Amino acid sequence: MRSLSVILPVLTFLIVLMGSSVRADSPEVELGERLFKDPRFSYAGNFSCVSCHFSPDDRRGYADFEARTPIPRRLEDSHLPQLTLRNTTALIELFWGEKAGVPNLLHSDGEFQTPEALVIAGMTGRNMGWLASEKNQALTKLAQVARLYPEIASSSEPTVTDDEAIQKVASLITAYMRSLEFSKDEQGDFNGSPYDQFLKLNHLPEKPNPGEPSKLYGERLRLQIEGLERDGKLQWISQGPQGERMARHDQAFRFGAAELEGLKIFYSTPPAAPARAHHSIGNCAGCHAPPAFTDFRFHNTGASQEEYDFTHGQGSFLSLVIPEAAQRARLTREELAPFAQIPDPSDPKKADLGAWNQVPLFPNGPDLGHLFGQLFETLCNFIPTCTLSQWRVYENEVLRASVGAFKTPTLRNLGHSNPYLHTGNRARIEQAIQMYIPMGLMARQRRLRNADPEMAGVIINARDIGPLSAFMRSLNEDYE
């Protein structure tokens, strides 16, 4: 009896320890991961999802290190792009928005309404070496390789059809991607980063109240912190679960004065009274809504305009001819292609207009309630008085509002997804934030084409870059 009473607590301790360090994946998720890493689906058997979406073992949040990634070469089509159109995005916590009821569109231009559709398109597209003309061949290969997995081949009787095998791959990889989450506590609140720990230690609100706009929550949080500071009660974080340093990031696990200064700028919103205007105002939470630090919606920050102007000269993006709704509806695929391309010194028609390329236009009216209208609806929300039922009146305005708009990326764990922006042209966090100095100014001066309304409220200067970057780094974490 005595020995058991000694062993039991030790055993319980060991089990708890194992439970917290080893992620127990379901068989479905494990199979999804194997499919994600399987190069046999690609044209030449040499590319898989993980070729561009590296795992945390490489200190990546399922992104890579490239600004734009070289795609498999095909000699037949040497005139085709040799690089991905955009920077490879990180894949952690992609589906958090569903809980908040936000349409779950994927790719930074909102191309895909479901992850399953993205998987099938990805498996049979250029990223895996397939040419557009080889769709059927690619789908057949997808089904063939899928059947090599006994779990898929025997999942239906007597034999799995091609279509069933393909759908199975899509749903398994989706299950795997859904499992890529940041650390959370029992309540489902984020708890892995120094920022999260700082909020918990000081009993500060970790997320907006239901229905509370993120900017109001940010202001409330900031005022509450300033109250604790005045009373001398604010406590810092100088240690994490792994000690003073982070295991997967080259930095201390800390939330101190510099991080707090950044937090305050981040959550500052444009002043009601101009008297406060001399303070820096990040207005960042207007789009990077806590606690996921994205609103999963589409905004134009000027990143496309900046790259285009860099290629063709200051102000050139303002005079780029962009078709209106009626005109766009008549253009062929080839005529539309230049609006989703990397700017090119030898061809000023090439630009990346982001969500503009995906906004559905409705010859017979939007299919209300159907996913296809989601992007339209999301953008319509930004236009005062716009309603879906009056789609014909607002069609053009919605299309215009989508020029240069991209999905807000999360700011969690940026340490594993550099370089930044859809252009990948910012190597460091400091450089990514630097963009907001001229872009805020240009928005106020109306020199930013289709600037998002929130951009005019971003008033920061060179002194703010350090603290804001420290704050961004406090959102890094050692997730599994």
Binding site for ligand HEC (CB under 6 A): 47, 49, 51-53, 69, 71, 84, 86, 88-89, 91, 94, 106-109, 115, 118-119, 122-123, 127-128, 173, 177, 266, 282-284, 286-288, 299, 301, 303, 406, 408-409, 411, 414, 417, 420-422, 429, 432-433, 436, 452, 454-455, 458, 460, 468, 472
Sign of the C-alpha dihedral, residues 201, 202, 203, 205?
A: negative
Contact 167, 115 (CB under 8 A): no
Q: Toward ligand HEC, which CB reaches closer, 197 or 425? A: 425
Cα 111 from Cα 69, distance rounded (Å): 19
Q: Toward ligand HEC, which CB reaches closer, 400 or 422? A: 422
Shortest separation between residue 418's beta carbon and ligand HEC, angstroms? 8
Q: Toward ligand HEC, which CB reaches closer, 172 or 391? A: 172
Q: Which two tokens stand for residue 85?
A: 């159109």
Shortest separation between residue 320's beta carbon and ligand HEC, angstroms? 16
Q: Toward ligand HEC, which CB reaches closer, 31 or 391? A: 31
Shortest separation between residue 170's beta carbon and ligand HEC, angstroms? 9
Shortest separation between residue 389's beta carbon and ligand HEC, angstroms? 27
Contact 175, 455 (CB under 8 A): no
Contact 94, 182 (CB under 8 A): no
Q: Toward ligand HEC, which CB reaches closer, 239 or 357? A: 357
Q: Toward ligand HEC, which CB reaches closer, 192 or 391? A: 192
Q: Which two tokens stand for residue 172?
A: 């398994």
Shortest separation between residue 227's beta carbon and ligand HEC, angstroms? 24
| H-state helical runs in 313-390 | 325-330, 333-336, 374-380
Shortest separation between residue 350's beta carbon and ligand HEC, angstroms? 16
Distance of CA 106 to the CA centre of its chain: 8
Across 262-343, the runs of DSSP E, i.e. the strands, are 298-299
Helix (H) or strand (E) holding 406: strand 406-407
Shortest separation between residue 205's beta carbon and ligand HEC, angstroms? 20
Q: Toward ligand HEC, which CB reaches closer, 138 or 391? A: 138
Three-class SS state of 237: strand
Q: Toward ligand HEC, which CB reaches closer, 138 or 458? A: 458
Give residues with Cβ within 8 angstroms of 368, minimum separation 6.
388, 389
Shortest separation between residue 321's beta carbon and ligand HEC, angstroms? 21
Q: Toward ligand HEC, which CB reaches closer, 69 or 191? A: 69
Q: Toward ligand HEC, which CB reaches closer, 206 or 295? A: 295
Distances, alpha carbon 92 to alpha carbons 61, 177, 292, 427, in Å: 6, 8, 11, 20
Q: Which two tokens stand for residue 86?
A: 């955009």
Shortest separation between residue 151's beta carbon and ligand HEC, angstroms? 18
Shortest separation between residue 261's beta carbon and ligand HEC, angstroms? 13
